[in-house]
Amino acid sequence: MIAIIDYGMGNLRSVEKGFLKVGVDVTVTNKPDVVKKADAVVLPGVGAFKDCMRELTDLHLIDAVVKAVKDGKPYLGICLGFQVLFSESEEFGKCGGLDVLRGKVVRFNFGDQKLSTLNSQLSTLKVPHMGWNEIKIQKDNPLFKGIPDKSYFYFVHSFYVVPEDNAIIAATTDYGIEFTSSVWKDNIFAVQFHPEKSQAVGLRVLKNFGEIVRKGL
């Protein structure tokens, strides 16, 4: 059983429908006991880092999520569910994360600096980073099985992660700077983009995660 964690933030139903469309059964829950019994955990979400941590705390879900990861259960973090894996975020002042992975979450800060965009035209890049962008796969990753390098996925975010350990970086994306758009470490898979909004390639990511859970790591 794959548990999609409902902490009151994000488009959970879109993620649920994406999994169901590729034949992967999931359960949406905000119950710690259900998360603890699950075979795998998916943490999606959009919004503020601090709000996410507060809601996870109030629902007594933090221990359940961290225990699932430490027990080796497959974990898929999407967008905010990717960022909260790390030690801290600078959003609205410093806020501690789950600290499962060492690193921090920082804001895109282009100001008025002119930078080359992906279509090679000079313009001021906007924050949030919103829309389709390509990923550069940095290492073989079962989550990206069958997905070509430089495939396009849908992004919506103002902050990005800076891991302390570059070895966990699975993919990067260019938006004025080259930032980490996916990580993979053991049973931890996480992406900054939204697979549930990324059409065929996004559905392939969800299907691949289902296969990872079914076959075991």
pTM for this structure?
0.92
**What pLDDT was estimated at residue 65?**
96
**What pLDDT was estimated at residue 217?**
65
Catalytic status, residue 79: yes
Catalytic status, residue 129: no
- Distant-in-sequence, close-in-space partners of 181: CB < 8 Å, separation ≥ 6: 135, 153, 155, 160, 171, 172, 173, 191, 192, 193
Domains of the chain in start order, with CATH, are 2-215 (3.40.50.880)
Catalytic status, residue 95: no
Which among 16, 79, 95, 157 is annotated as catalytic?
79
**What pLDDT was estimated at residue 143?**
98
Looking at the DSSP bridge assignments, the partners of residue 42 are 4, 76
pLDDT in tens, the chain (217 residues): 999 999 988 778 899 999 999 999 999 999 999 999 999 999 998 888 999 999 999 999 999 999 999 999 999 999 999 999 999 999 877 899 999 999 999 999 876 455 444 444 435 688 899 999 999 999 999 999 999 999 999 999 999 999 999 999 999 999 999 999 999 999 999 999 999 999 999 999 999 999 999 988 6
Which among 16, 55, 91, 196 is annotated as catalytic?
196
**What pLDDT was estimated at residue 30?**
95
Q: DSSP letters of 19-45?
A: HHHTT--EEEE--HHHHHH-SEEEE--
**What pLDDT was estimated at residue 123?**
54
> Which structure tokens are listed for 157?
């975010």
Which among 55, 129, 157, 194 is annotated as catalytic?
194
Closest to 76 measured CA to CA, from 208, 198, 214 = 208
**What pLDDT was estimated at residue 122?**
36
- Distant-in-sequence, close-in-space partners of 59: CB < 8 Å, separation ≥ 6: 7, 30, 32
The enclosing H or E element of 212 equals: helix 199-215
